[in-house]
């Protein structure tokens, strides 16, 4: 079971083709391609978690549109050269959503999608939380919350010192913003005017045990980031066109925070916005039902406004 | 015998050797950067700051961010020396040291300044006596405690290009030169500073000079003591320690740190499995220090040449008594 993960040539060719079609398409068609790609990734995640009998399905489904946009359209990366020094950096701070990251990395060609069958298996490189020493494409080992953003700040400072134009993206869970270490880093990034840094908050409003606002209030979240010197944009985290626009470089003198309003369990009606699906594992029947939904009407889901806390 | 540093022996603050060496390295290699937590002066980075203002990243009073930033810099091809007072660097950012540095396996050099009881009267909040125990439990982290300026300089030069996670414990309490020969510091190797057959005195950092003085005193009493300086605590030089156990049959350990988990524990774990011999472990056990200067506190906890002599005599004499018919 101790497979070594290596680039998957066929998958890389497929990813390059997709990337080219997205770049060549008009915005609406590009969004359509990304939506289809994200839903294929959702299906893969569901199978991966059901097979392993472990995983954090709710947060995986909420973050997949963000990850798909970044890997399929934004990041300057080369899956054949995961150590390319001038690559853009993507750090998944919410490391428990490793199944979403592994699926995205596999669909990008960093390794074969077949390796996902070993997710959380004995001696598998695909641990419950990502390990950069074993998984190509992973930049830092996350798992304990509140770690990704400080590392991203260091990577952004390094890019500036090295006079590189590479950018650093860090994807955070909203619940983990309750960790104080994030605010040390948010303060430092604002102070240093790190325009090459983008933090994306997967704002699904649920943490493991309850709603964020009932547990330890985050709002007014955008105002808080703005007050620390960040350019803050709030978008629908499942609207691919809006995400692409938010990820485009703009202000060279301010870090950007994209608050992506998402739905935990997005794409599967019986999981959507339900706290118990944080790490519940779907039965085979539930996987079938979920795949049917994802293969059909891709937009059927809980309305954002129904629970959005303003 | 009241032990203090003899008036005519020159003593040194290892932080100075650290700061000077870092500047030397930085002049030759622009990948060398320093990260600190508002500790430019106490980490002896004033010279570095003056010469390389852009390469000094002062994150403010934010140790978790400091260590995470160090990991991000190292993951981008730079060589970060992450400096802060040892108590705050280790305790406040322990999870970052574990996950972002050691487990992520990035070449960050963590520099714990003014460790042990160096902050004397400032009290237990500022003492770093638990750091060896905490850090020794973390896999993939090389733990280095230089005993004097020569070892400090060489340890800094080695760590810069070791390409791995390293913690350097850089002393503030002034110590005399104790290392001999060249190189003064060999990574992963313990140095035998004095030969002896009756007992081995194993010490680290501040306690190395005191162990040498203790050996002098013991010699006048007819006891031949070997002195071993363990400057790399993790991974341990097992061959030198086991040879000492086999050849002298008794071991005293001495450190400016807690006995639970520290150097004494490390030696005991090794010896008890492979070559059990009677031991005495000198350090701090189950106590927060009272108010007092570093020198006062070292005496308070028996971390003096006198204390080491007493422990060695206990071992030698106890055995002499029990072996007599």
pLDDT in tens, A148-162: 999 999 999 999 999
Asked whether the predicted pLDDT for residue A6 surpasses 60, the reply is yes
Q: What is the 3-state secondary structure (H, E, C) of chain B?
A: CCCCCCCCCCCECHHHHHHHHHHHHHHHCCCEEEEECCCCCCCCCHHHHHHCHHHEEECCCCHHHHHHHHHHHHCCCCEEEEEEEHHHHHHHCHHHHHHHHHHCCCCCEEEEECCECCCHHHCCCCCECCHHHHHHCCCCCEEECCCCHHHHHHHHHHHHCCCCCEEEEECCCCECCCCCCCCCCCCCCCEEEECCCCEEEEECCCHHHHHHHHHHHHHHCCCCEEEEECCEEECCCHHHHHHHHHHHCCEEEEEEEECCCCHHHHHHHHHHHHCCCCEEEEEECCCCCCCCCHHHHHHHCCCCHHHHHHHHHHHHHHHHHHHCC
Q: Least CB-CB distance to A143: which of B66, B77, B99?
A: B99
Cα(A69)–Cα(B76) distance, integer angstroms: 24
* Among B29, B60, B76, the residue to mutate for chain A (most A Cβ within 10 A): B76
pLDDT score recorded for residue B182? 83
Q: What are the backbone dihedrals phi and psi of residue B70, each rounded to the nearest 5 degrees, phi first?
A: -60, -45
% chain A with pLDDT above 90: 92
Whether B53 contacts chain A with CB within 8 A: no
Task: Say if the Cβ atoms of A132 and B100 lie within 8 Å.
Answer: no
Distance from C-alpha of A33 to C-alpha of A14, rounded to nearest angstrom: 13
Residue B65 touches chain A, beta carbons under 8 Å: yes
pLDDT digits (tens, 9 = 90+) for B222-273: 999 999 999 999 999 999 999 999 999 999 999 999 999 999 999 999 999 9
Q: What is the pLDDT of residue B9?
A: 81
- B99 interfaces chain A, CB cutoff of 8 Å: yes
Contact A156, A166 (CB under 8 A): no
Rounded distance, CA B64 to CA B68, Å? 6
pLDDT at B8: 67
Q: Provide mean pLDDT across the span A182-186.
A: 98
CA distance A28 to chain B (A): 36
Interface contact B95, partner A, CB < 8 A: yes
Task: Nearest chain A residue to B71 by CA: give it.
Answer: A151
List the single residue in A with minimal CA-CA distance to B102. A141
Q: What is the dihedral of CA A161, A164, A165, A167, to 10 degrees?
A: -70
pLDDT for the residue A98: 98
User: Is B71 close to A154, i.e. CB distance below 8 A?
Assistant: yes
Distance from CA of B128 to the nearest CA of A (A): 22
Please write the tens of the pLDDT for every residue from A82-104: 999 999 999 999 999 999 999 99
* Cis before A274? omega within 30: no
How far apart are the C-alpha atoms of A161 and B77, rounded to whole Å? 11
In this predicted structure, what is the pLDDT of residue A296? 72
The CA distance from A98 to A95, in Å, is: 6
Residue B71 CA to residue B90 CA, distance in Å, equals 15
Q: Across the interface, which of A142, A156, A184 has its CB nearest the CB of B65?
A: A184
For residues B296-316, give the mean pLDDT.
98
Name the closest residue on chain A to residue B105, using Cα atoms: A133
Q: How far is A183 from chain B (nearest CA, A)?
A: 9
- CA nearest to A68, candidates A95, A31, A98, A94: A31
Q: How far is CA B17 from CA A70, B55, B147, B236, in A?
A: 46, 19, 12, 24
Cα A145 to Cα A275: distance, rounded to the nearest angstrom: 18
For residue A143, list chain B residues with Cβ-Cβ distance below 8 A.
99
Verify whether the Cβ–Cβ distance A151 to B69 is below 8 Å: yes
| Structure confidence at residue B323 (pLDDT) | 61
Taking CB atoms and an 8 Å limit, are B68 and A161 in contact across chains? no
Q: Which residues contact A181 (CB under 8 A, 6 or more apart)?
A: A146, A147, A149, A150, B64, B65, B68, B96
What residues of chain A lie within 8 A of the CB of B103, using their CB?
A: 131, 141
To the nearest whole Å, the CA of A152 is away from the closest chain B CA by 6
Contact A141 B64 (CB under 8 A): no
Q: Does B64 sit within 8 Å of A85, measured CB to CB?
A: no
Q: Is B24 on the interface with A (CB under 8 A)?
A: no
> What confidence category does residue A303 fall into, taking pLDDT thresholds of 50, 70 and 90?
very low
Residue A154 to residue B99, Cβ atoms within 8 A? no
Which pLDDT score, from 0 to 100, does residue A3 have? 81
Count CB-CB contacts under 10 A for residue A180. 11
Q: In B, which residues are within 8 Å of A184 by CB distance?
A: 59-60, 62, 64-65
Q: Average per-residue pLDDT in chain B?
A: 95
The answer on pLDDT for B7 being more than 50 is no
Q: Among A117-121, B77-81, B316-320, which stretch is predicted with the lowest mean pLDDT? A: B316-320
Cβ neighbours of B53 in A, within 8 Å: none
Neighbours of B198 (CB within 10 A): 18
CB B105 within 8 A of CB A132: yes
> Rounded to a whole number, what is the distance in Å from the CA of A160 to chain B's nearest CA?
10
Check if B319 contacts A (Cβ < 8 Å).
no
Note the ipTM here: 0.93
Residue A309 binned pLDDT confidence (cut-offs 50, 70, 90)? very low
- Asked if B69 and A154 come within 8 Å (Cβ–Cβ), the reply is yes
Q: Are A188 and B99 within 8 A, CB to CB? A: no
B58 and chain A in contact, CB less than 8 A = no
Residue A122 CB: number of other CB atoms within 10 A? Answer: 7
- Average the pLDDT over A245-249 and give the result: 96
Q: What is the rounded distance in angstroms from the CA atom of residue A290 to the CA atom of residue A267?
A: 8
* B25-28: Cβ within 8 A, 24+ apart: B25/B156, B25/B157, B25/B160, B26/B51, B26/B52, B26/B55, B27/B51
pLDDT reported for residue A307: 26
Cβ contact B287:B300 at 8 Å: no
Using the predicted structure, report yes or no on whether residue B4 has a pLDDT greater than 80. Answer: no
**Beta carbons of A151 and B103 less than 8 Å apart:** no
What is the CA angle B71-A228-A181, rounded to 5? 35
Scanning every residue of chain B, which has its alpha carbon at the shortest distance from the alpha carbon of A135?
B104
Looking at beta carbons, which pairs linking B285-291 to residues 24 or more positions away fall under 8 Å?
A: B285/B258, B285/B259, B285/B260, B288/B123, B288/B124, B288/B127, B289/B117, B289/B123, B289/B124, B289/B127, B289/B129, B291/B121, B291/B123
Q: Count interface pairs A-B at CB distance under 8 A.
A: 109
**Whether B67 contacts chain A with CB within 8 A:** yes
Using the Cα atoms of residue A136, residue A142, residue A147 and residue A149 in order, give the sign of their dihedral: positive
Chain A residue numbers touching B95 (CB-CB < 8 A): 144, 147
């Amino acid at each position: 079971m101790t497979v070594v993960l290596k680039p998957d040539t066929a998958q890389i060719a497929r990813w390059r083709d997709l990337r080219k079609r997205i770049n060549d398409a008009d915005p609406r068609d590009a969004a359509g391609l990304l939506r289809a790609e994200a839903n294929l990734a959702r299906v893969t995640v569901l199978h991966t978690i059901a097979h392993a009998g472990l995983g954090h399905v709710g947060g995986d489904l909420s973050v997949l549109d963000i990850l798909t946009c970044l890997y399929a359209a934004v990041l300057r990366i080369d899956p054949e050269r995961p150590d390319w020094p001038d690559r853009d950096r993507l750090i998944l701070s919410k490391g428990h959503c490793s199944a979403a990251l592994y699926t995205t990395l596999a669909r990008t060609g960093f390794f074969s999608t077949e390796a996902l069958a070993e997710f959380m298996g004995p001696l598998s490189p695909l641990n419950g939380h990502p390990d950069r020493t074993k998984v190509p494409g992973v930049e830092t080992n996350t798992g304990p919350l509140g770690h990704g953003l400080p590392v991203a700040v260091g990577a952004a400072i390094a890019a500036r010192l090295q006079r590189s134009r590479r950018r650093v993206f860090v994807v955070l869970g909203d619940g983990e913003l309750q960790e104080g270490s994030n605010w040390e880093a948010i303060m430092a990034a604002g102070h240093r005017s790190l325009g090459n840094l983008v933090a994306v908050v997967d704002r699904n409003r649920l943490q493991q045990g309850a709603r964020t606002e009932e547990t330890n209030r985050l709002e007014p979240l955008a105002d808080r980031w703005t007050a620390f010197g960040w350019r803050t944009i709030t978008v629908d985290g499942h609207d691919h066109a809006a995400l692409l626009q938010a990820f485009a470089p703009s202000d060279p003198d301010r870090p950007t925070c994209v608050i992506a309003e998402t739905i935990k369990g997005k794409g599967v009606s019986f999981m959507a916005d339900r706290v118990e699906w944080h790490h519940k594992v779907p039965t085979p029947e539930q996987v079938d039902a979920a795949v049917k939904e994802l293969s059909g009407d891709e937009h059927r889901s809980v309305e954002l406004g129904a629970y959005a806390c303003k | 015998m009241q032990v203090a540093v003899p008036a005519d022996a020159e003593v040194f603050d290892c932080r100075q050797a650290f700061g000077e060496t870092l500047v030397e390295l930085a002049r030759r290699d622009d990948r060398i950067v320093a990260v600190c937590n508002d500790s430019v002066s106490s980490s002896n980075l004033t010279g570095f700051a003056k010469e390389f203002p852009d390469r000094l990243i002062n994150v403010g009073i934010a140790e978790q961010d400091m260590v995470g930033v160090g990991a991000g810099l190292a993951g981008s091809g730079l060589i970060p020396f992450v400096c802060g007072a040892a108590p705050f660097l280790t305790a406040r950012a322990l999870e970052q040291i574990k996950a972002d540095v050691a487990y992520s396996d990035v070449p960050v050099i963590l520099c714990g300044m003014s460790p042990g009881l160096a902050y004397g009267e400032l009290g237990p909040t500022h003492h770093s006596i638990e750091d060896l125990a905490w850090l020794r439990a973390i896999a993939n982290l090389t733990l280095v405690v230089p005993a004097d300026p020569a070892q400090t300089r060489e340890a800094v030069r080695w760590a810069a290009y070791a390409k791995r996670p390293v913690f350097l414990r850089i002393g503030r309490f002034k110590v005399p030169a104790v290392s001999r020969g060249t190189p003064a510091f060999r990574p992963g190797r313990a140095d035998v500073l004095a030969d002896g057959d009756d007992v081995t005195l194993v010490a680290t950092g501040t306690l190395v000079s005191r162990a040498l003085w203790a050996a002098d005193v013991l010699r006048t009493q007819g006891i031949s003591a070997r002195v071993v300086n363990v400057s790399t605590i993790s991974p341990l030089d097992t061959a030198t320690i086991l040879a000492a156990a086999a050849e002298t049959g008794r071991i005293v350990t001495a450190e400016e740190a807690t006995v639970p988990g520290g150097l004494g524990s490390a030696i005991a774990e090794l010896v008890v499995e492979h070559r059990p011999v009677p031991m005495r472990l000198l350090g701090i056990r189950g106590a927060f220090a009272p108010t007092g200067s570093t020198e006062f506190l070292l005496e308070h906890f028996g971390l003096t040449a006198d204390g080491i002599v007493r422990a060695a005599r206990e071992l030698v004499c106890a055995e002499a008594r029990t072996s007599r018919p």
